[in-house]
Structure formats: C-alpha cells, structure tokens
Amino acid sequence: MKAKSPAEAIDRQGWAASVAEAVRRGEVGPAARLMRDLDDEIPGARDGRRALFPYTGRAHVIGITGAPGAGKSTLTDQLVAAYRERGKTVGVVAIDPSSPFGGGAILGDRIRMQRHSTDPGVFVRSLATRGHLGGLSRSTGDVVDVMDAAGKDVIIIETVGVGQDELDVMRIAHTTVVIQVPGLGDDIQAIKAGILEIANVFVVNKADLDGADTLVHQLSAMLHARAPREGMSPPEIIKTDASRGNGMGQLMAAIDRHREKVRGDDWATRENRRLERRFLEHLRDVLYERGRARLVRTSYYDKLMSALASRAVDPYTAADEAASKVLGEDRERWKTCK
C-alpha cells in the first residue's frame, strides 16, 4: 500500500470512528457496508474493524451445523423467532454453499428469513464460500464482530455442513449445535470426528419422522461411551421438529445451560485463548503472504527453483531454507543457494 499523508491518515481515523459510532448506534446501512467491505477485503475497512473491536465480546455466538437438508435454516429461522419473543436481538450469519451468483438453496433461505427482514432487532447477512483457505473464518469472525458491536444479544452462524472450513468457523461459536436427522441409515457414522469434539448440544431434528427416538438412543450411547473431558458433562440431546417450531423452548434452555457453564470461572481464560487462536490464524496468513511476496522477487528464489527442478534439493529443505532467508536468519543456513 502507498504511504499515506498525515492528513489522509487523520481522515481515515475520523471516518473509522464515525463508522464505529454509527454501527454501535445500531444503524443498519453503515454496518452492512462495513461487513461487505470486510468480506471483500477492502483495505480501508480494516480501520473500521479496528475502531469497532473494543466494543466486541458481548454477544453469545451460536454455531449451527449438520448435513445439507438437516434443517439448519428452518431451525435458525425458528430460533430467531423464539429469541425475539424473549426480547433478545439477533444476528444471523448464513454461510452460503454456492457462489453469490448461484441460486437454489440460498433463495429458499432468503424467503424463509423474509419474515424477519422488517424487524430492526434482526440482522441477517449471508457469506459465500469462495473456497479460499482461511478466508471463511476470517469473514465470519469479522461479520460476527460487527453484529456484536452493533449490540446483537445472540448471533447465530448457520454453516454449510460440509468441508474443512467448517471446523474453523465453528470455533468462533461459544455454543455449537450439531443437527442430526433420522432416516439416513447408519447416521452416526456420518458424524465427522472433529464435529463431535466441538458439539455442545445435539439436536435430533425432524422428530416427526420415524427413527428419531432410536437416533437419540444411539447418540446418547455414543456420547456416554466417550471418555469424558475434565469436568465436562456430555452434550445434551434435544428433539425438535423445526418445520412446526416444536422443541425450540427446550433447545433454547439447553443453549442457556451451556452458556452458563462456559461463562463460569474459566470464561476469561477461554476467551483469551480464543483471541490468541484467532491472532495466530491471521499471523499464519499474514506471514505467508508477506514472506512469499518478498521471496518470489529475489534471484535467490530463481536459484532455489532451479535447484528444486534438478532435484539438488527437496521441497522440505528448500522451504526451510527459504523461511530462514525471509526471516533474515543466519546466512549459513542457506546451504543450497546464496
């Protein structure tokens, strides 16, 4: 980026402060624009994010995951309604399986969410999975921060239900809800190992269909068979029929109980660890981007690539040496080429 003149810098700070103020007052336009600019990685949006950050950390963030078709959107919509009835304001981050130009699934979700669109207590934002590494969790974290600073009490993240990005995204949530549905045969096998580790509440949705009780029993047996983590009771299992809104009260109560549990003694430590993890994720990206940019411009890089091509060096040694070079470590370590 070009160096900014002092006047420009002051301007930008002034702009960021006014955006932050508008977002905190709950103005929808500035919040929506900031979310969009952060998702598009517009450099100026970072100033807005910086100005907002001190006002984040209040909302309870709920992640909802489960296979496509399990009823995540239906359940999210019902939860929004139920929280609104309790007077809570809600943000929804819907992670979209298709490109922004796609159709189908998103359109259905939009129509479903429509009934909340005129409610100032609800903010819905969808994010496209563009398949970029780490980008999804960054965008999700950014959007959650903006909604949090805007004063939303509860923020629900609805994920796609497939892919590795999923786990990173779910780590942003304080309470992770994993949805299972009966009738998929050997469903338990379909639970991803990582998801099991991060599930705080299980929902057996479509409880109106056959096999719901069997699934509850299977899940319960599986959860009790696992070695319990220090002082943690196994996740609760709640039956819902999201299409009719049944079970929402029980689900909210289970989420509340989990919330109370995590807001206990270790809350500050956990939150600090969460922030550290987020910092380290970005550090990884930033170091890689900058290091790579710095490296590829050098003649050293060309030499290293030639050495690699002739198999004089293996990719691991080459990467190790290149890292030493970028980090300005001892020249002795650049054994392959100088």
Ligand X SMILES: Nc1nc2c(ncn2[C@@H]2O[C@H](COP(=O)(O)OP(=O)(O)O)[C@@H](O)[C@H]2O)c(=O)[nH]1
Burial class (CB in 10 A: 0-12, 13-18, 19+), 246: middle
- The secondary element (H helix, E strand) that includes residue 258 is helix 248-262
69 binds, among ligand X, Mg ion, none (CB under 5 to 8 A by kind): ligand X
Asked if 179 and 71 touch (Cβ cutoff 8 Å), the reply is yes
Q: Which helix (H) or strand (E) holds 158?
A: strand 154-158
Q: How far is the CB of 158 from ligand X (least distance, A)?
A: 7
Complex with ligand X: residue 68 or 131, whichever CB lies closer: 68
DSSP 8-state assignment for residue 55: G
Place of tokens 């430590």: 269
Burial 19-42 (b: 16+ CB within 10 A, else e): bbebbbebeeebbebbbebbbeee
Q: Give strand pairing partners of 157.
A: 63, 93
Contact of residue 78 among ligand X, Mg ion, none (CB under 5-8 Å per partner type): none
Q: Least distance to Mg ion from the beta carbon of 186, Å?
A: 23
242 binds, among ligand X, Mg ion, none (CB under 5 to 8 A by kind): ligand X
Nearest residue (CB) to Mg ion, 130 versus 263: 130
**Nearest distance from C-beta of residue 205 to ligand X, angstroms:** 5
CB of 335 to ligand X, least distance (A): 53
Query: Could you tell me the sign of the dihedral formed by the alpha carbons of 55, 56, 57, 61, in that order?
Result: positive
Look up residue 74 and give its two tokens.
Answer: 């239906």
Give the nearer residue to ligand X in terms of CB position, either 71 or 91: 71
241 binds, among Mg ion, ligand X, none (CB under 5 to 8 A by kind): ligand X
- Of 76 and 139, which has the nearer Cβ to Mg ion? 76
CA angle 57, 65, 242 (to 5 degrees): 105
Minimum Å gap between C-beta 72 and Mg ion is 5
Between 236 and 321, name the residue whose CB sits nearer to ligand X. Answer: 236
- Closest contact distance (angstroms) between CB of 109 and Mg ion is 5
Partner interacting with residue 200 (select from ligand X, Mg ion, none; CB below 5-8 Å by kind): none
Interacting stretch for Mg ion, rule CB under 5 A, among 73-81, 114-122, 200-208, 285-293?
A: 73-81
Residues at the contact surface with ligand X, assessed by CB under 6 A? 66, 68-74, 108, 205-206, 208-209, 241-243
Residue 206, binding choice from ligand X, Mg ion, none, Cβ under 5 to 8 Å by partner class: ligand X
Token digits for 10? 């002051």
68 binds, options Mg ion, ligand X, none, Cβ within 5 to 8 A by partner type: ligand X
Q: Which is nearer to ligand X, 102 or 228 (CB)?
A: 102
Q: Quick one: tokens of 92? A: 């929804």
Q: In what order do the strands lie in the sheet with 60-66?
A: 122-128, 90-96, 154-158, 60-66, 175-180, 201-204, 236-239
List strand residue ranges (DSSP E) for 60-115, in order. Answer: 60-66, 90-96
**Minimum gap (Å) between residue 131 Cβ and ligand X:** 19
Is 73 a binding residue for Mg ion by CB under 5 A? The answer is yes
Where do contacts with Mg ion occur on this chain (CB under 5 A)? 72-73
